[in-house]
Amino acid sequence: MTAFIYLVVALFGAAIGSFLNVCIWRIPEGFSIVSPPSHCPACGHEIRFYDNIPVFSFLLLGGRCRDCRGKISVRYPLVELLTAAMAALLFWKFGPSLKFLASFVFLAALIVITFIDLDHQIIPDVISLPGIPIFFLLALFVMEIPFIEALLGLLIGGGSLYLVASSYELITKREGMGGGDIKLLAMIGAFLGWKSLLFIVLVSSFLGALVGITLMIWKGRDMKYAVPFGPFLSIAAVAYIFFGAAAVRAFFTYQLL
């Protein structure tokens, strides 16, 4: 019975992942995410409901449009599988609760932000700006984070990156971090609280540096090569949800010994 419940949760996550694919493609273009119905980006033909089943339709069609045989990006099933996995993992952590739903909405927003940032090097305000008050309220009334912790998370999250970005621009005379990253960390801090920020900044900075150095070596780029930082902030936030809180508690406990 337990396995069946997790399967249902994963299928729910995959279905939401299909909608996230629509958001990832349409939001940067300024298109509506509800109209028109899903269609092939190559030929424009509306996708039939039986060709829009998450993951399975992609496999059955061999990754091609039924009408024009144009290739469908493998990203579509990957986003669906990722969202399904996140749903199952959050259900394992929180069980059937409002905390599960709130955390799932938060992770869904991070998935959309991550792939848009990878494609366009932007973090859309249409997600981050309303996300700040929405996730602040969810932190207070669902995740049971104290008001001052959530408020400090919002202020320090946005303020710390703003200070880093301003200092970098002052020293180098060029922009090194966009305003989208600042708003994203404010949103993350508002939902997870200020205690999450040290973990998130350290982990995201380490991952960003690791990937950036690897790309420079592989591509032969110099230090001006732009690596979007939003995905690393998102990965670090997800890591914090699952085991970062325990790491932070252990750190503060050790400091008090």
What residues does each domain of the chain span? 1-96, 97-257
Which band of pLDDT confidence, cut at 50, 70 and 90, is reported for residue 199? very high
What is the DSSP code (8-state) at residue 47? P
Q: Residue 44 in 3-state DSSP?
A: coil
Task: Please state the φ and ψ torsions of residue 74, each to the nearest 5 degrees.
Answer: -65, -15
What confidence score (pLDDT) does residue 12 get? 97
Among the listed residues 196, 197, 207, 199, the one whose alpha carbon sits nearest the alpha carbon of residue 229: 207
Summarize the confidence of residues 138-151 as an average pLDDT. 97
Q: What is the pTM of this model?
A: 0.90
Lookup: tokens for 14: 């995959």
In this model, does residue 149 exceed pLDDT 60? yes
**Average per-residue pLDDT in the chain?**
88
Confidence of residue 44 (pLDDT cuts 50, 70, 90): confident
Rounded Cα gap, residues 42 and 72, in angstroms: 9
Nearest Cα to Cα of residue 39 among 80, 70, 79, 82: 70
